Amino acid sequence: MIGKNILYFFIPFAVTAFTTSPRTLFGKCIISTPPATLPTIASHQNGRSSVLLFEKEKKKAPFEEAVRSKLVSESIAPWRTLRLFFYVALGSGAFLGGLVTLTGVAATLSGAPSDVDLNTDYVNLAIDFGFVAAFAVLFKFDKDQGIELQENVEIRIQKKKEDKVIKKGMKERESTLGKLMLNIRISDDGKTQDALVEAVQQGGKQHMIIVAGPRSAIRDALLGANLLKMEFSMRDVLVVPYELDKDESDKMSRPDATKGFSGDSRPTWETQPYVASVVGKGWDEYIEAELSDAIKQSGEKVKEEGIAIVVANTGKITRRGVGKVPWRDMVAELEQEVQEEGPMDFGFL
């Protein structure tokens, strides 16, 4: 009986080994399917030139993306395919052994002369079909795990593509930011002047930290910045607040450049020398684009917590963050960016 079961076990392997391949055999010759697409060559003799016609480069087919995700899944779980193969092979062997045993039992029960021990065959039937059920369960479980893994890989690949597009847009917006206008303080008596961002960066060597969010987030950010006001003055850092929920009635009043800050009713943390105001067109579109990218990466919480955009005086955006701004760390990073020309970090905190 043991020898018979061993024979049944190797039957699926033998069937697989001797299965005819896609190639067709004729005697000793093997005829394979020719390549799907080859360049067409048209020759002209008697001194005439030869013409080589090539097909245009084709775009990546959808199946290439599926193959890529499949390969990534295989690299994460390299033994899954081999396990599935053994589940099928061993399960098939047990199933065939069970069928043969079942045939003998049926013949004995029908009255045919036989030396079969029914008790032993009943045990063998239970073992064979028990293994069939076990391998079927293992195959189903492992297959489902593989499908789930591949779906996760496809999601990650798609997310990576989206992040690449987002980062490209972020890089392009650096030049857009330089063309926007700011209202900055230019004297100790509080007089202000409008200037381009790129002029402030190149001429005044000023770094910028743009804080965009609801009124509460702006207030908390400016209160935190007020604790480091000496650092901003010494390191040439401007803080640019932008309220997302502002309207014409509660917009922060812009001070009169001729009167200074004497008639300004804003809180002191909003009238510090390092605080600049946004003026002119283009800011709404710029902040909206930054906010949209932040929401894609960090979710809807961005609208409540706000975002911070750290810009060096070279015009490079060194960091984008969500939530509370670590002012001291940001100021230190700006100094390091200018001194060492470190790489940009486009990732949201």
pLDDT value of residue 248: 46
Same domain assignment for residues 6 and 75: yes
What residue numbers bound the domain in which 316 lies? 179-340
Given a cut of 50, whether residue 19 has pLDDT beyond it is: no
The larger pLDDT score, comparing residue 285 to residue 234, is at 285
3-class SS letters over 143-156: HHHHHHHHHHHHHH
Q: Domain containing 321 — which CATH number?
A: 3.40.30.10
Q: What is the pLDDT of residues 162-185, one digit of tens each?
A: 777 777 777 778 888 888 999 888
Point out the domain boundary residue: 132, 160, 175.
Answer: 175
- Tell me the C-alpha distance between 37 and 42, whole Å: 15
The larger pLDDT score, comparing residue 204 to residue 199, is at 199
**What DSSP line would sit under 185-245, residue for residue?**
E-STT--EEEEEHHHHHHTS--EEEEEEE-HHHHHHHHHHHHTTHHHHHHHTEEEEEEESS
The larger pLDDT score, comparing residue 324 to residue 211, is at 211
- Tell me the C-alpha distance between 339 and 349, whole Å: 23
Closest CA to 179 of 319, 294, 280, 308: 280
pLDDT value of residue 6: 47
Provide mean pLDDT across the span 6-28: 42
Same domain assignment for residues 166 and 195: no
Given a cut of 80, whether residue 326 has pLDDT beyond it is: yes
Given a cut of 90, whether residue 133 has pLDDT beyond it is: yes
Q: What is the pLDDT of residues 57-77, one digit of tens each?
A: 445 555 566 666 667 767 777
What percent of the chain is predicted at pLDDT more than 90? 9
Using the structure block, give the residue that is written with the tokens 């069928």. Answer: 99
Same domain assignment for residues 134 and 228: no
Provide mean pLDDT across the span 92-114: 83
Same domain assignment for residues 77 and 159: yes
Point out the domain boundary residue: 175, 197, 225.
Answer: 175
Query: Are the C-beta atoms of residues 278 and 240 closer than 8 Å to each other?
Result: yes
Same domain assignment for residues 207 and 332: yes
Q: Average per-residue pLDDT in the chain?
A: 73
> How many separate domains does the chain show?
2
Whether the pTM exceeds 0.85: the reply is: no
Same domain assignment for residues 134 and 207: no
Instruction: Indicate whether 183 belongs to any domain.
Output: yes
Same domain assignment for residues 68 and 158: yes
Tokens representing 227? 């604790």
Given a cut of 60, whether residue 90 has pLDDT beyond it is: yes
Helix 2-17 / helix 80-109 crossing angle, nearest 10 deg: 130
Instruction: Indicate whether 223 belongs to any domain.
Output: yes
Q: Which run of H or of E encompasses 320?
A: strand 317-322
* Confidence band, pLDDT 50/70/90 cuts, at residue 149: confident
* Confidence band, pLDDT 50/70/90 cuts, at residue 257: very low
pLDDT value of residue 174: 80
Same domain assignment for residues 7 and 146: yes
pLDDT value of residue 341: 55
Q: Which run of H or of E encompasses 323?
A: none
Same domain assignment for residues 154 and 296: no
pLDDT value of residue 132: 92
Provide mean pLDDT across the span 99-111: 82
pLDDT value of residue 65: 65
